[in-house]
């Protein structure tokens, strides 16, 4: 399908904070014939381990997930973008950078999309518009689609690091549900991406993370710290994913807590669901009503991951010692049962 892909960024980001590629996303990459470059670039994460109060709560074996790829893949998001861009270019496509959508003029057979580039505007006749333009999506706003939900009050932070003297496996993810919650995701080169809830807006992020990890890996050293970043998150889902000839996907359609790694993956899976349906419609092989199945299938997923993300945020935010002990008891019981562990 001939398309025009615009990106407001003048160049690809040198670093982006999403890390974990889920098995379902790997299946999508395999269907496109590009799984090999991903496996070559990333590190397989076979397990996820949850801890609290200095002890292990439970261990998740990702081989149980039901996919032929029984692991997550640790890979920084800008690398994922570069592999997908190369795939697009091999098919004759490309990314037009430094260009943004500023208006949509409705016509019976589509729109005139007004694109701004270097201060000049260009009217472009288009049949369909797919907005993958994030939380503050212009496409969503021009289509009159509301984004409903709430902000997550606890701020997040992230940085990359080498943990010298790390005693555990490098092919896993680790979550520490302590007073300062910390999540470690494995990256290539025995690097880690560290996500945490910082103690304050001005706190030393490394000191915050060290205060938690010291209980589990005494003496571990934080070397070569890179990309320290603070960010805020939201729990929001668009009221609808389609308004006539405008469709939205990814963060334009839903945003959630980063604690379970669903953000980038759910966006990839939105796009995969929508693309083949839109292709059939554009080529005249299916009625446009087929596109209604996109929202019917993907919006419930968005509602599920935002709800589970809120539950994770609530569990992380517990400060009362008795409430934390009750949470940990419940988690241990869940991990002790094979069905709930799955």
Dist CA 153 CA 313 (whole Å): 10
217 pLDDT higher than 90:
yes
Q: What are the angstrom distances between the C-alpha of 265 and each of 29, 55, 98, 192, 245?
A: 12, 30, 25, 19, 24
In this prediction, residue 109 carries a pLDDT of 87
Mean pLDDT, rounded, of the chain: 96
Dist CA 28 CA 81 (whole Å): 14
| Max CA separation in the chain (angstroms) | 67
Residue 25 is classified by DSSP as H
Q: What are the angstrom distances between the C-alpha of 243 and each of 22, 110, 114, 119, 238?
A: 29, 12, 18, 29, 11
67 pLDDT higher than 90:
yes
82 pLDDT higher than 90:
yes
- 194: closest CA among 209, 216, 178, 207? 209
In this prediction, residue 108 carries a pLDDT of 85
pLDDT band of residue 342 (cuts 50, 70, 90) is confident
pTM for the structure as a whole: 0.95
30 pLDDT higher than 90:
yes
In this prediction, residue 341 carries a pLDDT of 83
pLDDT band of residue 212 (cuts 50, 70, 90) is very high
pLDDT by residue (tens digit) across 237-268?
Answer: 999 999 999 999 999 999 999 999 999 999 99
Residue 22 is classified by DSSP as P
In this prediction, residue 170 carries a pLDDT of 95
For tokens 């299916």, the residue is 286
Stretch 136-149: mean pLDDT: 98
- 210: closest CA among 153, 152, 159, 260? 159
pLDDT by residue (tens digit) across 160-174?
Answer: 999 999 999 999 999
- What does the block give as tokens for 30? 């395999």
Q: What are the angstrom distances between the C-alpha of 42 and each of 13, 64, 72, 120, 266?
A: 18, 21, 10, 40, 19
- 78: closest CA among 41, 45, 28, 133? 41
pLDDT by residue (tens digit) across 86-126?
Answer: 999 999 999 999 999 999 999 988 999 999 999 999 999 99
Dist CA 216 CA 339 (whole Å): 28
Dist CA 156 CA 199 (whole Å): 10
- What does the block give as tokens for 336? 């002790």
Residue 222 makes CB contacts below 8 A (sequence gap 6+) with 161, 162, 163, 164, 206, 209, 210
Residue 124 CB: number of other CB atoms within 10 A? 13
């Amino acid at each position: 399908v001939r398309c025009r892909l615009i990106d407001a960024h003048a160049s690809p980001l040198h670093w982006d904070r999403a890390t974990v590629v889920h098995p379902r996303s790997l299946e999508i990459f395999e269907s496109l014939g590009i799984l090999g470059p991903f496996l070559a670039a990333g590190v397989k994460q076979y397990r996820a381990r949850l801890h609290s109060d200095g002890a292990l709560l439970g261990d998740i074996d990702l081989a149980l997930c039901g996919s032929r790829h029984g692991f997550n893949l640790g890979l920084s998001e800008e690398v994922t973008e570069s592999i997908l861009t190369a795939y697009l270019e091999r098919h004759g496509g490309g990314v037009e950078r430094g260009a943004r959508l500023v208006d949509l003029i409705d016509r019976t057979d589509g729109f005139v999309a007004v694109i701004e580039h270097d201060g000049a505007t260009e009217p472009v006749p288009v049949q369909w518009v797919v907005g993958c333009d994030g939380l503050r999506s212009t496409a969503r706003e021009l289509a009159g689609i509301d984004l409903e939900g709430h902000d997550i009050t606890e701020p997040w932070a992230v940085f990359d690091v080498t943990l010298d003297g790390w005693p555990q496996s490098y092919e896993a993810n680790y979550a520490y549900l302590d007073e300062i919650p910390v999540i470690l995701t494995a990256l290539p080169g025995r690097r880690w991406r560290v996500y945490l809830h910082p103690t304050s807006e001005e706190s030393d992020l490394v000191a915050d993370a060290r205060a938690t990890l010291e209980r589990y890996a005494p003496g571990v050293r934080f070397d070569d710290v890179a990309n320290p970043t603070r960010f805020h998150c939201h729990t929001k889902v668009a009221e609808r994913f389609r308004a006539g000839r405008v469709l939205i996907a990814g963060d334009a359609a839903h945003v959630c807590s980063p604690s379970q790694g669903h953000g980038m993956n759910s966006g990839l899976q939105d796009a995969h669901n929508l693309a083949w349906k839109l292709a059939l419609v554009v080529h005249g092989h299916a009625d446009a009503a087929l596109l209604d199945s996109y929202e019917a299938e993907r919006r419930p997923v968005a509602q599920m991951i935002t709800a589970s993300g809120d539950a994770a945020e609530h569990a992380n935010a517990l400060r009362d010692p008795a409430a934390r002990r009750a949470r940990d008891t419940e988690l241990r019981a869940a991990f002790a049962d094979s069905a709930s562990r799955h």
